[in-house]
Chain A
């Protein structure tokens, strides 16, 4: 599993090596620079065909929008780790299968950390957690366009408090369906 992840990371960085690092110019000076949207919104319905309601068998869309029934929507992590713990593998798989079955379903993966350490490192760590879940879901049938990630680092704790009981609730990825 981890071996496959490494392969996937290698593959994606190879792909990136071919990308131009120079981004399109916009405007003439700093005051009129147009912000660059690389693809922050791609995959969230952009250019996708139709809406769930247009599809045959619209009765299933409630499930598509809400995720698999009876499955948790939060994955918890160890300190300074973005490795998916064995007890959460089945949760990730259930969501991945669901996304594979309902290709109109969209998921936002929100990465979070506890409050310890520096804030910007924690933003990066939250991103890595969200990406770990994203990759695992893609390996199990979800498609890239169904998944977006965002990291809040330590900025949005689920539990207040400065003890391990709060910290372990805050080191997490939240899986939310919608849009």
Chain B
């Protein structure tokens, strides 16, 4: 039912200018939880003396569990601890109702060099689905473990895993008169936090470069907003736009050569521009007395989605970047749709929408414009796609505190990202990292 029904609902909303029906959300809830895949991640073998230098299996198990798509067996319930596929006894695991078993070993090759070997076995058939060896430095054992989880996730679900990726976000601490804003990058599971930039003035709008090496962001350092590009490895920071008025909402083109930005310049009219990073050439994209902001590129780099209130309230539009291209309105359900982000395959856009009086995250079909509400908070904002398109991270409030939350694109799986002290907001999920 849903597709036809939703299309019809969208048409009715359009025709009657009525507020959106709550039907879509109800359909999502009625669908129920997906059956999580039962899996066992056996503690990895460790050949050298002493305790293992890293618990690969624990990291893999935590990743799979956190994704909501797997139900890992607790170690205490395991009957045996094989380290290679040939030693996996299908009968025992079948009894434990486990569909897949991950086994492997961690070996220290030299002082700082390690090797991880892992295999994935399907219990029903006894078939070895994966078997690989990967080298890892001492300080990259966590990352290597995330890559094992990525491989298992992809082999079983057919979707590339995004555990070995990172998130950028803004953390705010301190009372109103002495705030401290920090731009932070952490692993996708929230571990391994690293400070990128801090300031007593607001930091906003972090955006990953397509190669994952740099962040663009807005800082009010010095009292006026400017757009900066910072290289993560070196910390080198370049101010790329400090024009009169607002310097806002940077978005990297897929080829990394330019930023789409929202500027108001001297006339105070907020419009979209393209800023070439190599030449500093600035090209105006929109020229409308309304607000045009929050640009997001399509994966092919030929068009942008953005927020505009040219129809009276904020709605999402799409516009080609070629000369003479005209904006086309995309969202029609509800009085408020803003801050679009495009899925990696370009088929869906996530937005902030007003759903029954609350600000929530919704997914919009790029072709049909139909909308599904994904989140259930009161002040949800700043959605950002995982690079595999399976999940969306966003900012939410919990008891007045800013936290990060993740929802699967079908809305069925919800996660919270544990926030450290203070408020966290404006999460941006990195591209795949190599």
Contact = CB atoms under 8 A, between A and B. Distances in A.
A127 B267 contact: no
Contacts of B145: none
A117 B352 contact: yes
Nearest to A123: B248
Given A25-B279, A116-B359, A121-B293, A38 B265 contact: yes
A98 to B, nearest CB: 22
| Size category, B interface | 35 or more
B176 to A, nearest CB: 7
B154 interface: no
B322 interface: no
A26, A118, A149, A157, most chain B CB atoms within 10 A: A118
A152 B202 contact: yes
A103 B141 CA distance: 65
A50 B277 CA distance: 39
Contacts of A134: 268
Contacts of B265: 16, 38
B225 interface: yes
Interface stretch (A28-36, A56-64, A67-75): A28-36
A35 B352 CA distance: 32
B239 A35 contact: yes
Nearest to A20: B282
Nearest to B268: A131
A119 to B, nearest CB: 6
B238 interface: yes
Interface in A52-105: 80
B143 to A, nearest CB: 27
A30 B277 contact: yes
A128 interface: yes
B294 interface: yes
A40 B283 CA distance: 19
A31 B238 contact: yes
A156 B268 contact: no
Contact of A123 (B204, B239, B243, B282): B204
A35 B283 contact: no
Contacts of B59: none
B214 to A, nearest CB: 9
Tell which of B270, B338, B352 has the most Cβ of chain A within 10 Å: B270
A162 interface: yes
Interface stretch (B20-28, B46-54, B112-120, B284-292): B284-292
Q: Of A80, A119, A152, A157, which is in contact with the most chain B CB atoms at under 10 Å from its CB? A: A119
Interface in B263-307: 264-270, 273, 277-284, 287, 289, 291, 293-294, 307
Nearest to B337: A118
A109 B120 CA distance: 62
Given A30-B277, A31-B238, A13 B269 contact: yes
Given A13-B267, A124-B264, A134-B268, A37 B339 contact: no
Contact of B336 (A15, A117, A155): A117
B236 interface: yes
A9 B268 CA distance: 9
B169 to A, nearest CB: 13
Contact of B284 (A21, A37, A149): A21
Contact of A149 (B220, B229, B240, B245): B245
Given A29-B278, A30-B277, A119 B426 contact: yes
Interface string B341-364: 000000000001000000100000
A178 to B, nearest CB: 12
10 contacts: A12-B268, A15-B267, A35-B239, A40-B224, A118-B314, A120-B339, A121-B293, A121-B294, A124-B291, A127-B268
Closest 3 CB pairs of A and B: A131-B268, A35-B239, A118-B339
Interface of A: 9, 12-13, 15-16, 21-26, 29-31, 33, 35-40, 42, 80, 115-121, 123-125, 127-128, 130-131, 134-135, 149-153, 155-157, 160, 162
